[in-house]
Amino acid sequence: MISLKDYRIVLVGGAGFIGHNLALALKERGAQVEVVDGLDVNNLLTFSSSDCHSGNRELYRGMLNDRLDLLRENGIPLHIQDARDYHMMNAVLNQIKPQVVIHLAAVAHAALSNKDPHSTFGHSLRTLENVLDYSRSGVEHFIYFSSSMIYGDFKSAEVTEQSPCEPLGIYGVLKLAGEKIVKAYSQVFDLPFTIIRPSALYGERCVSRRVAQVFVESALEGNSISINGDGSDRLDFTYVHDLVNGVIKVIENENSKGEIFNITYGQSRSLEDMAELIREHFPEARISYSTKDKLVPDRGTLSVEKARKLIDYEPQYPLEKGFVEYIKWYKSIWPNKADVVPVGIGEYRKSGQAVSPKQSKTAEQTTGTA
């Protein structure tokens, strides 16, 4: 068992939804955690740009600033760096000298990837190759974030890590390519690696507008819950804290090296189930149905038996627990839109609420190393 105490761990793409939650948990367990992130993909710069027309832009900028506040308050250095830049990434990583590298940077959204394959390739694969090239000489453990999307349409209700991979669309194909590149680096340079396949995550400070978030926001806005398809589609919804605990097990257990793991809740649920849970908290919410996109694969359960056996992974959050916590959290941060005033480049505050000196510094973080 490897102790996390003082273990030097870098998270590339670590100011993202998964990354910052993982960084905080690793730091709490005594690791020396540092984050590298460009902040311009699904992050602060995206939602601060005048091109951004998201209706909830101010709310999301508040969540993104909260992430940076949490990293800073917990003593986790943030290096604001585009990982597509080979030389700068080498310089930053040489300064950190990580023992473990966790690669999360990507355009983490299937629909956006199909709209802009070129940019997705750069953020997902160029970044990966740069980071692998640094890691091949001396990093003790390289952890790559893949996705359940590499399976494509599930051929049965449950897939294992051995199931065939036939991804649909740009995102899944690039994720699978990433897995193969990681394995090739391991074959050629003996780089110890683990590949993680998560699915359908939800949790605090996510701004990606995946199904769980869209359902909750629709209910809070008084709009109908719009289900793509007839509601029978099943996903292995996973609360981010389960995934974070799974990654910690991967780092702690030497026998995770050279392995691929599904890290999910391990039991699929239908969209209808999720909508019903919403209705328990918003009884007046209506449900509507629309056509399902042909590039969205039919999915189901990702078996976590291998992770259970090899690294003692035990998920804790069924939808009834994790999603309910998430709904409560969303209600607690949901603003009265009439009260919202934008403040500075990356800040959201309610009117009448003072911006403290600490808060007013957050905008500066976008241009330097925090």
Ligand X SMILES: NC(=O)c1ccc[n+]([C@@H]2O[C@H](COP(=O)([O-])OP(=O)(O)OC[C@H]3O[C@@H](n4cnc5c(N)ncnc54)[C@H](O)[C@@H]3O)[C@@H](O)[C@H]2O)c1
Query: What residues line the site for ligand X (CB under 6 A)?
Result: 13, 15-19, 37-43, 82-84, 104-106, 108, 123, 127, 145, 147, 198-201, 208, 210
Rounded Cα distance between 60 and 240, Å, is 18
Nearer to ligand X, 81 or 282 (CB): 81
Rounded Cα distance between 186 and 264, Å, is 25
SS3 content of the chain, % helix, strand, coil (to 5): 45, 15, 40
Nearer to ligand X, 105 or 173 (CB): 105
Nearer to ligand X, 99 or 199 (CB): 199
Which residues of 252-364 form beta strands (DSSP E)?
Answer: 259-262, 269-270, 287-290, 301-302, 340-343, 347-350
- Give the rounded distance of the alpha carbon of 190 from its chain centre: 28
Contact 219, 294 (CB under 8 A): no
CB of 158 to ligand X, least distance (A): 17
CB of 42 to ligand X, least distance (A): 4
Q: Closest residue (Cβ) to ligand X?
A: 16
CB of 261 to ligand X, least distance (A): 13
Rounded Cα distance between 248 and 18, Å, is 13
Nearer to ligand X, 41 or 225 (CB): 41
CB of 89 to ligand X, least distance (A): 8
Nearer to ligand X, 45 or 310 (CB): 45
Nearer to ligand X, 17 or 151 (CB): 17
CB of 167 to ligand X, least distance (A): 12
Which residues of 129-239 form beta strands (DSSP E)?
Answer: 141-145, 158-159, 193-197, 201-202, 225-228, 234-235, 238-239
CB of 122 to ligand X, least distance (A): 7
